[in-house]
Amino acid sequence: MSDTSHVTGMSASSGPSGPAEASGASGASSQEPGGEESALTRIALGLGGVQAAQRGRTAEARASFEALWDALGERDVFHRCVLAHYLADLQEDPRAELEWDRRALAAADSLTAERARTYESAHQVRAFYPTLHLNLASDHLKLGEPERAREQLERAVRSLDALPADAYSAGIRAAVDELRQRLR
């Protein structure tokens, strides 16, 4: 989306840095339900979505990522969090964008400590929260809901301590400050 307050990427230090990693490629194995063929299908859907998005074919990217969303299943909450985050960015309707951002947050919230141990970098999911809440704040502002935007922005601010000290995190902090100024 063109709104600069909607943060699209997740850094390598906080998780996947692009939709290709969200495709399930890093978590695919023949040990999963559906086996190796299912994993290859998920990888193909993810790569297809990335390629379509890079070429500006938003509807095609959305369709590919939505199919991947369905293929991931409820158990793969880490990748669902990241994928929903990217799907939000591909929405033309602000209400649909809000819904995907809510799904991303719900996936992050459902990643319990036990489930987190099954993912190599999922223990860092806490670092997703500033971006997830920032995006929800931006969504609510677009929809003319400044009080809800302020609530989400406050949640983003309260979770900033989870961010590492790197350039990506500095960008998140700057986006939080920018949105704070817009909401005054």
Pick the more confident residue, 48 or 175.
175
Q: Assess contact for 53 and 61: CB atoms under 8 A.
A: yes
Query: Residue 42's closest CA among 62, 22, 61?
Result: 22
pLDDT category at 97 given cuts 50, 70, 90 is very high
pLDDT, residue 148, reads: 98
pLDDT, residue 43, reads: 83
pLDDT, residue 78, reads: 81
pLDDT, residue 69, reads: 92
102 has a pLDDT exceeding 70:
yes
pLDDT category at 126 given cuts 50, 70, 90 is confident
Q: Assess contact for 138 and 6: CB atoms under 8 A.
A: yes
What are 146-163's pLDDT values in tens digits? 999 999 999 999 999 989
Residue indicated by tokens 């809440």: 133
pLDDT, residue 87, reads: 95
Q: Assess contact for 7 and 153: CB atoms under 8 A.
A: no
What are 26-83's pLDDT values in tens digits? 333 333 445 666 778 888 888 888 898 899 999 999 999 999 999 988 878 888 898 9
Q: Assess contact for 7 and 134: CB atoms under 8 A.
A: yes
**For the chain, what percent of residues have pLDDT higher than 90?**
50
pLDDT, residue 85, reads: 92
* Radius of gyration, CA atoms only, the chain: 16
23 has a pLDDT exceeding 60:
no
Give dist(CA 147, CA 127) in Å, integer. 24
Instruction: List phi, psi (to 5°) of 99.
Output: -60, -45
